[in-house]
Structure 1
Amino acid sequence: MLLRKYMSLIGIGSAQIDLILSKDTYKVGEHIEGYFLIKGGTIDQQLRRIDCELIKREELMGNEEIIDIQTILTSKRIESEEIYKITFSFKLPSSIFVSSEEISYCFKTKLTFNEGVESRDQDIIRII
């Protein structure tokens, strides 16, 4: 048991997060619905927060810009092997540029624990 705890502290067997969206193409100003799927690892872990950033990438320049961020503060304890869902809702700004060869978008999600390595996820979306 002690070995599993130390392994999860360095990221092996820790809980994982995945943002599940109903589709990957959206219109400017559209409302996005989905959920965060959290899968418990080999040991119980205390969650601290979930951060989800909408990122705009400028491919030619290699720049990234945070358009918006949503933070969920939580003290939920995820038990070993438990599956947990948290709803996700996001409204795209009406002033956002559409996706192109030069501009792309993604959601970067980070799950932070009281102890251990953060879990990260990235989901590419297309804006038309």
Structure 2
Amino acid sequence: MILRKYMAMLGVGSAQIDLILEKDTYRPGEIVKGNFIVKGGLIEQRLNRIDCDLMMCTEPNESKNEKLLDSITIYTTKVIESSTTNHIPFSFQLPHSVDSSCNPSYRFKSKLTFKQGIESVDHDAIYILEA
């Protein structure tokens, strides 16, 4: 049991997050809906928060050219039991002023933060059409 605890603290066998969206194409100002799927790892872990950032990237595959457009945070003290699946509703209103002049790509970067252990991160691309 102690070995599992330390493995989870290092990220091996810790809980994972996956953002599942209703669709992947949106217009500026539209509400994005979906669910966070949180899958328990080898041991139970106490979740502190879920962060979800809307990122814009002006060059493909270049994370250094990312820009944070907006963010939401869900604070919680939920315990994620080992080997369970939890569904947490997600809703996010896209900004009305989204720059499409430089042909950027957009993605949601979701992150679980635990009381102990490392963070779990998920990336989900979306397409934003011109208004």
TM-score, normalized by length of structure 1? Answer: 0.93
1:71 and 2:73 are equivalent in the alignment: yes
In structure 2, how many angstroms separate the alpha carbons of the residues matched to 1:51 and 1:77?
17
In structure 1, how many angstroms separate the alpha carbons of the residues matched to 2:77 and 2:67?
29
In structure 2, how many angstroms separate the alpha carbons of the residues matched to 1:15 and 1:21?
20
Question: What does the per-residue CA deviation read over 1:17-60, in whole Å, with 9 as the maximum and x for residues that have no partner?
Answer: 00110111111111110010000001000000100000011117
In structure 1, how many angstroms separate the alpha carbons of the residues matched to 2:95 and 2:55?
12
Residue 90 (structure 2) aligns with: 88
In structure 1, how many angstroms separate the alpha carbons of the residues matched to 2:101 and 2:83?
37
Task: Show the 5 A alignment for 1:17-96.
Answer: 17-59=17-59, 63-96=65-98
Contact 1:99 1:105 in 2 (8 A): no
Question: What does the per-residue CA deviation read over 1:77-108, in whole Å, with 9 as the maximum and x for residues that have no partner?
Answer: 011111111110011111112486x3110000
Q: Structure 1: which 5+ residue stretches go unaligned?
A: none
Contact 1:28 1:98 in 2 (8 A): no
Q: CA RMSD in A?
A: 1.6
Could you list the structure 1 runs, at least 4 aligned residues long, displaced by more than 3 angstroms after superposition: none
Aligned residues: 127
State, as a whole percentage, how many aligned pairs show the same letter: 54
Residue 104 (structure 1) aligns with: 105
In structure 2, how many angstroms separate the alpha carbons of the residues matched to 1:45 and 1:29?
36
Structure 1 counterpart SS, 2:68: strand
> Which letter maps to 1:4?
R
In structure 1, how many angstroms separate the alpha carbons of the residues matched to 2:90 and 2:50?
11
Residue 128 (structure 2) aligns with: 127
